[in-house]
Amino acid sequence: MLKPIIQISSLSFTYPDGTMALDGISLDILEDQCVGLVGPNGAGKTTLLLHLNGILSGKGTVKIDGLEVCDKNLREIRQKVGIVFQDPEDQLFSPTVFDDVAFGPLTMRLEQKEVLSRVSWALNEAGLAGLEKKAPHHLSFGQKKKASLASILSMRPRIIALDEPTSNMDPRSRRRFLQLIKALKATKILSTHDMESVSELCSRVVVLDSGRVVADGEAQSVLSNRELMESHGLEVPLGLKRSQ
Amino acid sequence: MDLFFVDKFSSLTSPVHKLNPVVSLVSFLTFVIVVALVPVHSFVPLLVALLSLSCIVLVSRVPLQFILRRSVVIIPFVLAVGGLNLLARGAELVIHHSGLTHSVLGSTGVRPFLNMVLKSFICVLGMTLLVSTTGSANLLSAMRRIGVPAGLTVGTCFLYRYVFVVADELSRMKRSRDSRRAGKLPLAAELRSIGTLIGVLFIRSYERAERVYVAMCSRGFDRAMVAPIQSGTSKRDILFPVFLLGPLLLSLLV
């Protein structure tokens, strides 16, 4: 039986300006599950992702692979949880693609040989072999997204959280990026408004609104519930509309 | 913004481009220092240095026109300083030693002036060649390895990475402002609008810096900068400094 790799219990978080972003969230995510985190703007999706590796810490507990997210465990937690941020310009901060992909393994204090092997593996996985020496500003947007993914793959995380993975991508880049995500062997969490990609990739969907979990269940049944989706500012994916 | 402005041609694959960045950096820096120390009335070492650099330009396959265009930017500054040198009378330095008085006249005239122009040109040519064959990223990593403080090199890394992003952001904001402007504004309003643009750009850059920091922390950054990957050395890394510096040092000794 699969065990929960992420255990969130009564998690609440309020930003310094008083905005309550998370309000008593409890959620268990099983190993190797692919979960879609959906909800309107300001629902708390990104805030929740930032709690998974201790960038933010609210009231309540978050456990990753049995390890509580707290200061003394941060080093280990950040090796287990990789977050791909929405804007690749924020994620890729090094002067070359190689340096960026090597950054994570270097912070893990790995041997140089191991770092090189991981970088090469991650770039191959992301379909960017041969672009190591390129500066991020010389890449296309699709390539930047792939490089962002490679930058966390090189750390071999067990959980990959993607914040708006397909935003601003043209259809071909989007398709290729989704195929890439689909092939990854890890627990995946997609925070997105792109219902089509959730329908295609995720087996489970969690709907967040105003910092609360308002629905949690099997992807097709949640996504095809028109009333639920529309009452929380979402839409039934086109593929499911046709089959209804 | 021209993305290749800083290190155009650094992605070529000539033997000079394949040098270990540390070897390139140290060789060119030593070369510049030696050139700067050539006596003011001595021209042969400078011509030898120019010849060595010309050979390296040919091997590197970086277009000569590009290298020259980049290198001549220094000429107006040298002419301005050197022009004063032509007009002024040299300062007299009087040395009293063991009861004897020596009087040394500062170097002025056409020969020292030409010497200065040539030296400056050669130094800038060397630096242009260094950046064009090594690339900014490798250069920064080499600086780290020769002991330049991490704070300085990391800061420059971020500048190199984000100057294009910020410049693009500014051009988008400017385009948005111009597309909503029906006519010319009074000067005060124009200045206010430019001030607002700069202010907003600063806030956006600040927010981006916060997001970048979060992305770094997510990948295990703990305020200690990681050491860059070492690159290997080959025979050409030994031959290059010999070729670049050998003839110049010989011509100074002969």
Q: In this complex, is the C-beta atom of B250 within 8 Å of any C-beta atom belonging to chain A? A: no
The two three-digit tokens of residue A22, written as one number? 């998370």
| CA dist., res. B91 & res. B183, Å (int) | 58
> Which residues does chain A have within 8 Å of residue B161's beta carbon, measured at their own beta carbons?
92-95, 135-137
Q: Which long-range contacts (C-beta less than 8 Å, at least 24 apart) are formed by B33-41?
A: B34/B245, B34/B248, B34/B249, B34/B252, B35/B119, B35/B122, B35/B123, B35/B126, B35/B248, B36/B119, B36/B123, B38/B115, B38/B119, B38/B252, B40/B107, B40/B111, B40/B112, B40/B115, B40/B116, B41/B107, B41/B111, B41/B112, B41/B115
Sequence spans of domains, chain B: 21-144+232-253, 149-218
- B208 touches A at CB < 8 Å: yes
Residue A90: which of B208, B226, B227 has the nearest Cβ?
Answer: B208
Task: Looking at the complex, report in whole angstroms how far the Cα of residue B197 sits from the nearest Cα belonging to chain A.
Answer: 21
Distance CA B185, CA A167 (A): 37
- For residue A80, give the chain B residue with the closest CA: B219
Question: Can you give the length of chain A in residues?
Answer: 244
- Model confidence at A226, pLDDT cuts 50, 70, 90, reads very high
Cβ-defined contact of A135 to B219 (cutoff 8 Å): no
pLDDT of residue B235: 87
Average pLDDT over residues A88-112: 90
Residues of chain A with Cβ-Cβ distance to B211 below 8 Å are 85, 87, 90
Nearest Cα of chain A lies from the Cα of B128 at a distance, in angstroms, of: 19
Kindly list the residues from chain B whose CB atom is less than 8 angstroms away from the CB atom of residue A136.
161
Chain A residues touching B136 at Cβ < 8 A? 95
Q: What is the pLDDT along chain B (254 residues), one digit of tens a residue?
A: 555 566 778 878 889 999 999 999 999 999 999 999 998 888 999 999 999 999 999 999 999 888 888 888 888 888 887 777 767 655 555 666 666 665 555 566 778 888 888 999 999 999 999 999 988 888 888 898 888 888 888 888 888 888 888 888 888 888 888 888 777 778 888 898 889 889 999 999 999 999 999 999 998 887 666 666 667 778 889 999 999 999 999 998 87
Q: CB-based contact (8 Å) between A133 and chain B?
A: yes
What does the pLDDT look like over A161-217, one tens digit per residue?
999 999 988 999 999 999 999 999 999 999 999 999 999 999 999 999 999 999 999
Whether B13 has its CB under 8 Å from any CB of chain A: the answer is: no
The reply to whether residue A112 touches residue B230, judged by beta carbons under 8 angstroms, is: yes
At A192 the pLDDT is 94
Instruction: For residues A72 and A7, give the distance between their C-alpha atoms in angstroms, rounded to a whole number.
Output: 18
Half-sphere exposure of A82 (CA within 13 A, CB side): 23
Out of A95, A108, A116, the one facing B137 most closely (by C-beta) is A95
CATH of the domain at A188: 3.40.50.300
Which amino acid, A32? D
A112 interfacial to chain B (CB closer than 8 Å): yes
Give mean pLDDT, residues A66-95: 92
- Is the reported ipTM for this assembly greater than 0.95? no
Report pLDDT for B156.
Answer: 87
Shortest Cα distance, chain A CAs vs residue B154, angstroms:
9
Q: Find the helix or strand (DSSP H, E) in which A199 lies.
A: helix A195-201
Residue pLDDT, tens place only, A139-167: 999 999 999 999 999 999 999 999 999 99
Strand order in the sheet with A4-14: A20-30, A4-14, A59-64, A67-68
CB atoms B229 and A102 under 8 Å: yes
pLDDT at B107: 61
A88 has a chain B CB within 8 A of its CB: no
Indicate which of A93, A114, A116, A154 best probes the interface with B, i.e. most B CBs within 10 Å of its own CB. Answer: A93
> Taking CB atoms and an 8 Å limit, are B214 and A115 in contact across chains?
no
Q: Does residue A86 belong to the interface with chain B, where contact is any CB pair within 8 Å?
A: no
Per-residue confidence band for A13, with pLDDT thresholds at 50, 70 and 90: very high
Instruction: Test B208 with A83 for CB contact under 8 angstroms.
Output: no
Would you state the pLDDT for residue A212?
Answer: 96
Least CB-CB distance to A104: which of B157, B162, B220? B220
Domain residues for the domain of A113 are 4-243
Output the pLDDT for position B94: 60
Q: Which of A51, A99, A145, A159 to mutate to test the interface with B (most CBs of B within 10 A)?
A: A99
- Overall number of domains in chain A: 1
Predicted TM-score (pTM) of the model is: 0.79
Q: What is the pLDDT of residue B159?
A: 87
